[in-house]
Amino acid sequence: MIRLLENIKRKLSPPRISPAARIEMEKDRQGLAATDPGPDAVIEACAGWLCAAQDHSASADGGVARHYSLTKGWATSYPETTGYIIPTIIELARRRGSADLHARARRMLDWCVAIQFPEGGFQGGLVDSLPRVPVTFNTGQILMGLAAGADQYNDPRYMESMHSAAAWLRDSLDPDGCWRKHPTPFAAPGEKAYETHVAWGLFEADRLAPGKGYGSAGLRQVDWAIGKQQANGWFASNCLSDPDRPLTHTIGYVLRGGIDGPLFSRA
């Protein structure tokens, strides 16, 4: 009943739109540009937006804001996406020889190290979300950034944090190859095939520090997830909230992580 009343209130009294939001609405009405600006312009715009999201995060901590709202402004930092943004920022910094982008990547890394739980995991949700508990999926995404940072900067803090996260994931994997012990409190309960995207993080850690069993744990999870695939290609247990209607978002996750399994095993 409360949710129904809130929906009615929003429809009858929509939030005020800021002048900046009105400008963006007008741009949307005008449609796309007549010509393709090309990939370089797109990369430049995306990089600029990510930098702005770091600079204007409501928590002002070095992480990247989860989103920007036309009515509420910038959100607080989001550990999960900050983690897998880091490799992109490092790669851009390399290509451009940009000291600023390298500094941004290191601020993101320093923040991730600072919010890591002692046992190695990382929280789900925004940095100020509750409950604050270690979550398998989010840890795997941040692990990608830690591995990239340890490789690029040769900083022992990043390497130690990477090992801590990777070992936590390795040791919390069930014998059949599924992660069940540390689900996110912000999605429906149940097994998640798309956590092949967590296995990907373990592959990155193993490439940098072989011999710890990180990669073999990731391969066990990928094997388990492939067992969820049906004859027509559809994956069971592959959604945040409704396994019968999986999101393209999580379909992309399961495929990307699944692809990296064979690539890792053949290396």
Give the pLDDT confidence score for residue 24 in this predicted structure.
Answer: 83
Nearest to 256, CA basis, from 180, 200, 192, 181: 200
DSSP state of 194: G
Q: Specify the DSSP element, H or E, that contains 123.
A: strand 122-123
pTM: 0.90
The domain made up of 78-266 has a fold known as Glycosyltransferase (1.50.10)
Between CA 105 and CA 51 the distance in angstroms is 10
3-37 pLDDT, tens digit each? 666 667 666 676 777 788 888 888 889 988 889 99
Domains of the chain by residue range: 78-266
Q: Is the pLDDT of residue 175 over 90?
A: yes
Give 76-126 pLDDT, tens digit per residue.
999 999 999 999 999 999 999 999 999 999 999 999 999 999 999 999 999
CA 128 remoteness from chain centre: 16
Mean pLDDT within 50-58: 98
For residue 2, pLDDT beyond 90: no
What is the C-alpha separation between 62 and 71, in angstroms, rounded?
A: 23
**Rounded distance between C-alpha atoms, residue 89 and residue 111, angstroms:** 15
Contacts of 136 (CB under 8 A, 6+ apart): 121, 169, 172, 179, 181, 182, 183, 184, 195, 198
User: Residue 65, CB half-sphere, CA atoms under 13 Å: how many?
Assistant: 20
3-state secondary structure of 117: coil
162 close to 150: Cβ distance less than 8 angstroms: yes
